[in-house]
Structure 1
């Protein structure tokens, strides 16, 4: 068992990311006799754990594609929370494109990132495939109604640069601008800024659909996972991590300006990109939960990934869930026993 509580996250709004920025996760580790480390700051020998979760002291809050794919490969992880933050998913077309509806995607060339070196690292491909699948579904279309154009992709994306990258967030923007494809899928704050910089236009706003199933993707819902060894050896640190995340979510609900300041650092975006991607109310819904709806929607994503070849094998979702740490964390917060 590691003597360090390791933490890794993606450049998006998360309660744990806020708790880290406020110094609360470090405090939790120290109270449990552990050092605190952030995987993005670690050496290359540990960086791959962001995708395969083989580091025994690791808690991860990030995209569900690597988390689900790692579990399918046999990673000894448990699911301890889920968050849902809509983050501006859209299908973009060029400034001169006549396409303005999902139905008009029929017959177009859509840009889909190529496979990475393994399934957990192929999240850009999974995101684009699911985004286009849902957009086409809005008009009764399928992937058979478009032409898939393979885009270049990072074969070995590195977690150390995931938060620092900028243009790679919009996979296919260059190809769209050059006219090599007719439409691409994008999400998030930096994607909004890139689209604005190049005059790209939203043809389908996936966030506008009221059907949550059509908004399921890599970040919706977003899982919090822990290595089984850490949960077995020091359950108190896992409970404390979740309690500090809940506490940070409570803080965020009353301080939109403060949350946006943190997000500008996390996403390397300006204030306009953060506002465009996340809107005015996202800071009120950062609390992790394991309610039935979120677990069901994660199951929708798991089935999509399995169907499209992103998983080594299927697995039982319910047995992955460990509800006790979050329940105990809520008790700590409710009774004011989370250290300030």
Structure 2
């Protein structure tokens, strides 16, 4: 690519509020983050939306045909619609015309398209969707993976998730030595089903992971762990419950603030605090989840994403690019060698 600026392909047709909110978030990201965005979708709809904004530098529009609807089965939908917006966006990364993809559309289709078009990184058996959640410790987050890519897992998959999560936590979230936990129903290593028991042993034996034991549900948001691994079924339930809790907290705060003049004065005084609370608990502030393990940067945003969430999704993609997450995951002596040993033991 001729430019050193990160180029982000954005699926402008994906999500409940596409293309209006997607375009608005993309324009803000282009202006404030210094990235170049490529809007993938129906040119007529995108152009009509762009006319509602004033921007000194309009993004490039990359035409596509159709989108994968939420009711469609991902693989069959992708095959029926080879020029769907998510496919075209992934092709831009494959062809080195973009550095990352952001989509708020069908998450299953985004993952399937990434696998089909970009492929897996060497040594990775299954990609994982990683979600960053706030904790009770100020300015500290926890990375949960997998939160939906793999409903059924083997111990070696979870071991790879732990390695990928540790790299992401260290180089993007800035944790010197990420502490890894395994989501389980008890702290003792003998607790849980066969998957949990076997995974516990593998994580304990892996010297490249700072594994500190099992994490119960009540431990997830304490700040004790930097990375928590689990299968995608449990992780997806956990993620959506956490999002609902965040929304409930904001709703309760809004309801409990006093009404009338005294309430307005009190709210004005508390405004900085309320803003920080929203930043910590609102899932829109985190932008989306990174699909780790595929040969390209892919951020999957919530289907209900609006402009602020898309802006944060682009920021997340830029951070992954700037910190060379793909190269670090692929680097020798970390994933590839450990995965080879794991594969010999289990296959």
TM-score, length of structure 2 as denominator length:
0.30
Higher relative contact order (CA 8 A, sep 6+): 1
